[in-house]
Amino acid sequence: MKSSFLIALLLVVCATVDAADKPQALVKAARAILDDWHNQKPEKDQRYLHIVCWTPSDRELPKDYRPRLTRMMQHIQDFYAKEMSRHGFGERSFNLRIADDKLLDLRTVTGKFEASHYAVQSGGEIRRECLPVLKKAGIQAEDETILIFCNLATWDAERKVFRHKSPYYAGGSYLGGTAWQLDSPELDSLNLKLKKPIISDGQYGRISLGKHNSIFIGGIAHELGHALGLPHCKERPDEAVRGTALMGSGNRTYGDEVRGDGPGSFITLAHAMRLASHPQFSGSLKGFETTAKASIDGLKVTADKKAINVSGVVQGKPPVYGVVAYFDPEGGGDYNSTTAVAVPDADGQFSLSTTALPPGKLGQLRLFPLHTNGSAAAQMSQTRFSYPYRIADDGTPDLSVMQLRLDLKSIIAAIQSKDKAAANKLASHLKSEQATKIAARLTRQSPTQTPADYDGDETEIPLTNFKASEIKVGWARPTFDRVPSPTVLLESAGRIFQTGIYAHAPARHVYQVGGMWKMLTGKAGIDASHNGSVQFEIKADGKSVWKSRTTRSGKLREFRIDLDGVKEIELLTHPTKDGPGSDWSLWLEPTLSRTAK
């Protein structure tokens, strides 16, 4: 069976290049758009990766740091160049400054404190300590790509024992970024081939010195990808013959092939596409300071057997030369997202598809228009072109939540514009029963009665039909039957709900029920756009009658509370050990019921 939805009514002619079938033709088409734009009034320039070696005040920099780092960085530079060439983009790579002695031209910085002061979380502090040295060298860190090697590792050469507490992460875009890495004297690209000796790694256990180098030199290559603007992604099953995607778990397999331990790591076509326009790789600053804007019209998504097909019309300034799609199943952050790529034709039409969809999972489709100036109109894995889906246990895609959100798109826009008349008019034309019911909740008047005041005959009523006597939320404003964000809808665990209470932890909602109701039922969960963790609690006349386990995104907790004789109920949400960040808690379909009079 096929199910589909339209974001706009537009006939899409499949005259585009599909990455799954014609990768060479796709790259050729992308390069034609890129080269044509950059060759018109060119602004050629060479940008560099700027390297800093930082050490705490009580340590010297590791032995032979410049020769070793030169070998490692040139090894990684060559890896990127070969992967870009393999995809058809030529030997493009990031650029390194080499001094007259043929070693890396880099900066050295001594921290303000001893090693005991710093930890994995000290990246920001270390970067701030590096800024004056960079500025003195004429390098504006906010506008450049920076790689900071932190001397916070301990290597016992005799016992072959390694430990570290170094920052080990990165972030960035085509405009600039920062990657934090560790350095240690046994790290050297010359050691990638070694199956012996066996060392003790504090994180990875007993491994060969070669594997140890694969992990941490691969880590440099991986985090540098983030600093250049690449998010995570996993290799598709059809790509796995090449090894492990660098921006997935490829940091742990880099160079495995030289030891015969496996095929090693590779850069996916999707990420080669993204890198092709990065100023480091393109050698151009044309449009560098231009804010990219993109639109996707006529978007059509269909579920055909066990595939998801996507097509539409993309337009942008600067021009768009490609569209990258990430299909990201729940769990594992974005590490498990697989990719598909398309190049728009002269009219902006594109199409792509995937069957790399793990069964029994919720997921997010994220689309990134790629602009010729290097922008992906987004940061890392964040994009406004994001759509939910669910894959059934048999592998069949379910796009119903996506469909529902799109059905309500114009109504949500009217509500956000505070045009209630337009929202009501649009709601009257809805064809979906569920969309109509949700629209009615979004456009209704605020309640004036408490549950204790109710004198009608209904025996089952949504709690949000009544006003609370006390309200407190941990962030933003209290809202009912919606969330206080542009997404508006109550979405959790792959479903959209008609009624509910936004309750960012810590939150408290008190209702006077006056002993008139027999039961409170419903569900509790986390808003689909956030990854917090909370505990839900319900009190009846001050006594705790229900507590959930710690609840994270993608999970729902059901409750059924006896209210016989209860005068007051409290709905509470509590942050857990990780703090209140992103704790967008939701009470979903809370319903009061009683027997007929």
Report the CATH number at residue 529.
2.60.120.1060
Q: Are residues 80 and 107 in the same domain?
A: yes
Domain count, the chain: 4
SS3 state of residue 59 = coil
Q: Are 465 and 480 in contact (CB under 8 A)?
A: no
Q: What's the rounded Cα separation, in Å, for the pair 137 and 139?
A: 6
Dist. CA 506–CA 576, nearest whole Å: 10
- The answer as to whether 222 is a domain residue is yes
Do 478 and 420 fall into the same domain? no
> Is residue 403 in some structural domain?
no
Q: Is residue 335 part of a domain?
A: yes
Q: Let me know whether 458 and 575 are in one domain.
A: yes
| Domain hosting residue 357, numbered range | 2-23+285-396
**pLDDT tens-place values along the chain, 597 residues long:** 334 333 332 323 333 444 444 889 999 999 999 999 999 999 999 999 999 999 999 999 999 999 999 999 999 999 999 999 999 999 999 999 999 999 999 999 999 999 999 999 999 999 999 999 999 999 999 999 999 999 999 999 999 999 999 999 999 999 999 999 999 999 999 999 999 999 999 999 999 999 999 999 999 999 999 999 999 999 999 999 999 999 999 999 999 999 999 999 999 999 999 999 999 999 999 999 999 999 999 899 999 999 999 999 999 999 999 999 999 998 777 899 999 999 999 999 999 999 999 999 989 999 999 999 999 976 667 787 888 899 999 999 999 998 898 889 889 889 888 898 999 999 999 989 999 999 999 999 999 999 999 999 999 999 999 999 999 999 999 999 999 988 899 999 989 999 999 999 999 999 999 999 999 999 999 998 888 899 999 999 999 999 999 999 889 999 999 999 999 999 999 999 888 988 999 999 999 999 986
Residues 95 and 216 in one domain: yes
- Strand 145-150 and strand 49-55: the pairing is parallel
Q: Would you say residue 60 lies in a domain?
A: yes
* Predicted structure pTM score: 0.82
Is residue 337 in a domain? yes
473, 571: one domain: yes
Looking at the structure, tell me whether residues 293 and 376 fall in a common domain: yes
Same domain, 504 and 554: yes
Q: Are 427 and 451 within one domain?
A: no
Strands (E), 267-360: 293-304, 307-317, 320-329, 338-343, 349-354
Can you read off the two tokens belonging to residue 551? 């609840």
- CATH number of 375's domain: 2.60.40.10
Query: Based on the domain organization, do 277 and 354 belong to the same domain?
Result: no
